[in-house]
């Protein structure tokens, strides 16, 4: 691949990435209901994108139902959370044009990951939420540049042919550096370094999972909402996987300096 072709998507990726980062940083800083409502809206859009990939006849309705279910999951007692999200996923799967079982699992996993992100911001605090986003961004950026510059063996060519081992490992190194930088601000201490690598790997698996669904659906991007990135699912797939791992590790006390 020539040098120009190798970096052909860099400019639109940077432009839309900067816009996303600016908006995301403001929403994260505000937190509370601003963050929760934004997460519900983003959840609805991602479910819309996912339903389109499963040939659903009414993806807009699936997205709207998911956004409402997520909002109710935030405001109602915990006893109602899983049933609400499960009903939303079941409705989407029942109306899917194909792969109903996969559709159910993908939708439910997506909803739970969004909920994990909301819980982490509201309960763990701003510093932890910023650390999570920084891990995902650093992993993605390092993986992109190392993979394009160094190339080498593919990480999982059957599902994601562009990802290389060089980019994957570079992402882990970048995540470890982020963990070291946030060790003091989050109060987690240096245990955050290996935790950051684990969270980065979970994010990479979230990316791989969405790539597998897209490959099965025969599409390159989940939608065309973001120039250079595709859809919101293409941009937030890694964040979803990372959020699920982070909230699990946080709830188990693995991010405590006394762990």
Write the pLDDT tens digit of every residue in 199-228: 999 999 999 999 999 999 999 899 988 776
Q: Are 62 and 93 in contact (CB under 8 A)?
A: no
- The answer to whether residue 114 is domain-embedded is yes
Q: Which among 72, 92, 124 is the end of a domain? A: 124
Counting the structural domains of the chain, the total is 2
Assess whether 158 and 118 both reside in one domain.
no
Q: What is the mean predicted confidence (pLDDT) over 230-253? A: 93
Assess whether 79 and 95 both reside in one domain.
yes
**Confidence at residue 196, expressed as pLDDT on a 0 to 100 scale:** 98
Write the pLDDT tens digit of every residue in 53-96: 999 999 999 999 999 999 999 999 989 999 999 999 999 999 99
DSSP element (H, E) containing 38: helix 32-53
Assess whether 88 and 104 both reside in one domain.
yes
How far is it, in rounded angstroms, from Cα 3 to Cα 36? 42
Q: Which among 89, 124, 159 is the end of a domain? A: 124
* Residue 131: both structure tokens together: 């650390």
- The answer to whether residue 21 is domain-embedded is no
Residue 253: other Cβ atoms inside 10 A: 9
- The answer to whether residue 253 is domain-embedded is yes
- The answer to whether residue 26 is domain-embedded is no
Assess whether 142 and 248 both reside in one domain.
yes
Write the pLDDT tens digit of every residue in 90-103: 999 999 999 999 99
- The answer to whether residue 153 is domain-embedded is yes
- Mean residue pLDDT across the chain: 89
CA dihedral of 115, 122, 246, 233, whole degrees rounded to 10? 40
Assess whether 170 and 129 both reside in one domain.
yes
**Confidence at residue 145, expressed as pLDDT on a 0 to 100 scale:** 85
Assess whether 129 and 114 both reside in one domain.
no
Q: Which domain holds residue 107?
A: 31-124
- DSSP assignment, residue 160? E
- The answer to whether residue 4 is domain-embedded is no
- Cβ-Cβ contacts under 8 Å for 239 (sequence gap 6 or more): 117, 132, 133, 136, 203, 206
Q: What is the mean predicted confidence (pLDDT) over 182-211? A: 95
Confidence category of residue 256, pLDDT binned at 50, 70, 90: confident
- The answer to whether residue 9 is domain-embedded is no
Q: Which among 106, 124, 142 is the end of a domain? A: 124
**Confidence at residue 259, expressed as pLDDT on a 0 to 100 scale:** 47
Q: Are 228 and 15 in contact (CB under 8 A)?
A: yes
């Amino acid at each position: 691949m020539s040098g120009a072709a190798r970096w052909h998507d860099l400019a639109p990726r940077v432009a839309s990435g900067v816009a996303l980062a600016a908006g995301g940083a403001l929403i994260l800083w505000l937190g509370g209901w601003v963050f929760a409502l934004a997460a519900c809206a983003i959840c609805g859009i991602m479910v819309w994108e996912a339903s389109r990939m499963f040939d659903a006849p009414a993806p807009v309705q699936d997205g709207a139902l998911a956004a409402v279910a997520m909002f109710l999951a935030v405001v109602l007692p915990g006893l109602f959370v899983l049933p609400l999200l499960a009903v939303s996923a079941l409705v989407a799967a029942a109306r899917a044009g194909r792969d109903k079982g996969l559709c159910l699992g993908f939708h439910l996993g997506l909803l739970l990951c969004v909920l994990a992100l909301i819980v982490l911001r509201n309960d763990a605090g701003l510093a932890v939420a910023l650390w999570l986003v920084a891990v995902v961004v650093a992993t993605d950026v390092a993986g992109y540049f190392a993979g394009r510059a160094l190339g080498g063996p593919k990480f999982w060519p059957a599902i994601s042919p562009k990802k290389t081992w060089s980019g994957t490992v570079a992402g882990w190194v970048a995540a470890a550096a982020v963990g070291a930088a946030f060790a003091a601000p989050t109060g987690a201490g240096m245990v955050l370094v290996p935790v950051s690598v684990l969270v980065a790997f979970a994010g990479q698996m979230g990316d791989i999972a969405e790539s597998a669904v897209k490959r099965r659906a025969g599409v390159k991007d989940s939608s065309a909402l973001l120039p250079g990135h595709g859809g919101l699912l293409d941009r937030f797939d890694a964040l979803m996987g990372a959020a699920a791992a982070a909230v699990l590790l946080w709830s188990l006390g693995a991010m405590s300096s006394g762990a």
